A and B are shown apart, each in its own frame.
Chain A
Amino acid sequence: SQTIHQWPATLVQPVGSPLSLECTVEGTSNPNLYWYRQAAGRGLQLLFYSVGIGQISSEVPQNLSASRPQDRQFILSSKKLLLSDSGFYLCAWSVGNRGNQPQHFGDGTRLSIL
């Protein structure tokens, strides 16, 4: 069966520091991968999605970037964090090439910027 792993689970970082969040999927090949951010008590904001290695679409202009160095690995990065980057970051995967399959979420990373 497929599983998705995100780490770390929680992270406290100072303003201006770099960021690297990792997400890996097991049990499937060539998944579609996604990064979302959820502010406290709010909805899910799509940040990036990827249909394959080297193919990444950015949805929101910001100081974050994403990379997909391997088929089942998706990384969210920042060179300099802002206070507004605090939130709950969720990675998700889906399969299929028709866009009508559900997304499955990881357990998330709770990021606090001080």
Chain B
Amino acid sequence: GENVEQHPSTLSVQEGDSAVIKCTYSDSASNYFPWYKQELGKRPQLIIDIRSNVGEKKDQRIAVTLNKTAKHFSLHITETQPEDSAVYFCAARLRGAYSSASKIIFGSGTRLSIRP
């Protein structure tokens, strides 16, 4: 069935080091891949997204790569800071009953902790 798998479930890195979170998806028709950051008790917030017509996108310390052939995409955070500590979710848009809707399936999340 439709599925998005995310690894690792928890990640601890030293402040200043890089963090990488990886996701795979099952639907080869997926064409949109957002990443969300959720702080404790708060709403998920979009931090970066990528569409299937590009292989990489960067926004300051955050980058996302997409490999359509292998059906996987990754989030890279460089020069990590304490405020990067949160749960990160990858997601993929799947074709739903209504093709115009963004039926987005989320990964299970990665709890990122930045050690001072």
Judged by a CB distance under 8 angstroms, whether A27 is at the interface is no
B43 and A108 within 8 A (CB): yes
B89 and A99 within 8 A (CB): no
Complex Cα–Cα for A66 and B74 (A): 34
Chain A proximity mask over B99-116: 1 for CB below 8 Å, otherwise 0: 111111111110000000
Across-interface contacts of B93 in A (CB, < 8 A): 99-100
A46 and B104 within 8 A (CB): yes
What is the minimal beta-carbon distance from B13 to any residue of chain A, in angstroms?
20
What is the minimal beta-carbon distance from A7 to any residue of chain B, in angstroms?
14
A102 and B100 within 8 A (CB): no
If over half of B's interface residues share one DSSP class (helix, strand or loop), that class is named, otherwise mixed; here it is: loop
A102 and B46 within 8 A (CB): yes
Judged by a CB distance under 8 angstroms, whether B45 is at the interface is yes
Across-interface contacts of A24 in B (CB, < 8 A): none
Judged by a CB distance under 8 angstroms, whether B51 is at the interface is yes
B98 and A55 within 8 A (CB): yes
Across-interface contacts of A46 in B (CB, < 8 A): 103-106
Complex Cα–Cα for A57 and B7 (A): 29
Q: Once A and B bind, how many residue pairs between them come within 8 Å at the CB atom? A: 73
B102 and A103 within 8 A (CB): yes
Complex Cα–Cα for A97 and B97 (A): 13
Across-interface contacts of A49 in B (CB, < 8 A): 96, 98, 101, 103
Complex Cα–Cα for A92 and B99 (A): 18
B positions within 8 Å CB-CB of A? 31-32, 34, 42-46, 49, 51, 89, 93, 95-109
28 examples of A-B residue contacts, CB within 8 angstroms: A32-B102, A43-B89, A44-B89, A44-B106, A46-B103, A46-B104, A46-B106, A49-B96, A49-B103, A50-B101, A55-B98, A57-B96, A57-B103, A97-B100, A98-B100, A99-B31, A99-B96, A99-B99, A100-B51, A101-B32, A101-B102, A102-B49, A103-B34, A103-B46, A103-B104, A105-B45, A106-B43, A107-B43
A positions within 8 Å CB-CB of B? 32, 36, 42-44, 46, 49-51, 55, 57, 90, 94, 96-108
Task: Contacts A32-B100, A101-B102 known; list 18 others, CB within 8 Å.
Answer: A36-B106, A44-B89, A44-B106, A46-B104, A46-B105, A49-B101, A50-B101, A51-B100, A55-B98, A57-B98, A57-B101, A96-B102, A99-B102, A100-B31, A101-B32, A102-B46, A103-B102, A106-B43
